[in-house]
């Protein structure tokens, strides 16, 4: 198991930019997934500001947002 912490934007970014950056980060994580990895590769995702509380992300809804965002392009 591993925990990844990375920045996808600033509090001043609009929702579209944050979704775009989150999608790019997920794409890169999944691209680097070892071929020997079995089962769910990403167990859960949480978003927060630097010192704020973590907010769990619903991965199904997040995935749908990413698909909708790609379709709009």
Residue 1 domain-assigned (yes or no): no
Of all residues in the chain, the percent with pLDDT exceeding 70 is 90
Residue 36 domain-assigned (yes or no): yes
Q: Which domain holds residue 49?
A: 15-72
Q: Is the pTM of this model over 0.75?
A: no
Residue 24 domain-assigned (yes or no): yes
Q: What is the DSSP letter of 45?
A: E
Q: What residues are paired with 56 via a beta bridge? A: 46
Residue 2 domain-assigned (yes or no): no
- Directed axis angle between helix 15-31 and helix 59-72, to 10°? 110
| Average pLDDT estimate for 4-33 | 89
CA dihedral 68, 58, 54, 20 (to 10 degrees): -20
Residue 49 domain-assigned (yes or no): yes
Residue 8 domain-assigned (yes or no): no
Q: Is the pLDDT of residue 70 over 80?
A: no
Residue 20 domain-assigned (yes or no): yes
Of all residues in the chain, the percent with pLDDT exceeding 90 is 21
User: How many domains, the chain?
Assistant: 1
């Amino acid at each position: 198991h591993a925990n990844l912490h990375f920045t996808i934007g600033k509090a001043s970014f609009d929702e579209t930019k944050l979704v775009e950056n989150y999608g790019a980060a997920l794409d890169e994580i999944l691209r680097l997934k070892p071929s020997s990895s079995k089962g769910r590769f990403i167990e859960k995702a949480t978003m927060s500001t630097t010192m704020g509380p973590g907010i769990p992300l619903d991965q199904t809804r997040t995935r749908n947002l990413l698909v909708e965002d790609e379709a709009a392009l």
